[in-house]
Amino acid sequence: MARVVFGAALDPEPVRIHARGFFPFGLQHRHTAVTPNGQIYFPAAHARPDFAQASPTDQHWFMHELVHVWQYQLGYPVMLRGAVRLFLGYRYVLAPQRRLGDYNMEAQGDLLADYFVLRHLGAPQAMRQREYADALPLFDTVLQDFLADPAARIHLPAWRSRG
């Protein structure tokens, strides 16, 4: 799944998927995954042995978390930025003049996960923002530079970028 979106820009070798929370004392919500350090922490009830065989909705969630792995591996301060939650909405607005780096870290997660389930799974019902279910050409425009070179740091979110 990672290669389809990130090519060689994401190294899957060091990535581990944990079936437990990251935060001590049960502070992680039971329906929340976190990826603060290049590792993915799914609550045990939501971890899957193979997300490639999971439902489109679970694949969407996994892809969203893989975006944070990609951000982390390219040097984005995922843990620090996640702790400072200002301007970190998950919603995004697609527009032809925008590029991936224009979106905040959480909006990037949903944008790329929506693109993945639409383009590669043909599953618009798994999208978070279903209003873009017929907008594959617009996704292609917004993501054209990223898809050409997903390893370029220009695609990482700016600190003050918004959805």
Boundaries of domain holding 134:
2-155
Separation between Cα atoms, residue 46 and residue 7, nearest integer Å:
26
Q: Is residue 13 part of a domain?
A: yes
The reply to whether 161 falls in a domain is: no
Distance CA 163, CA 155 (A): 14
The answer to whether residue 47 sits within a structural domain is: yes
DSSP state, 88?
A: -
**pTM as predicted:** 0.90
* Residue-level pLDDT at 162: 47
Active site residues: 65
Which DSSP letter does residue 124 get?
G
Average pLDDT over residues 81-91: 70
Per-residue pLDDT, 46: 86
Tally of domains within the chain: 1
Residue range 29-42, pLDDT digits in tens? 667 788 989 999 99
Residue with tokens 């032809």: 96
Would residue 51 count as lying in a domain?
yes
100-145: pLDDT as tens digits = 999 999 999 999 999 999 999 999 999 999 999 999 999 999 999 9
Query: Residue 59: its pLDDT value, please?
Result: 98
The residue ranges of DSSP E strands in the chain, in sequence order, are 17-19, 40-42
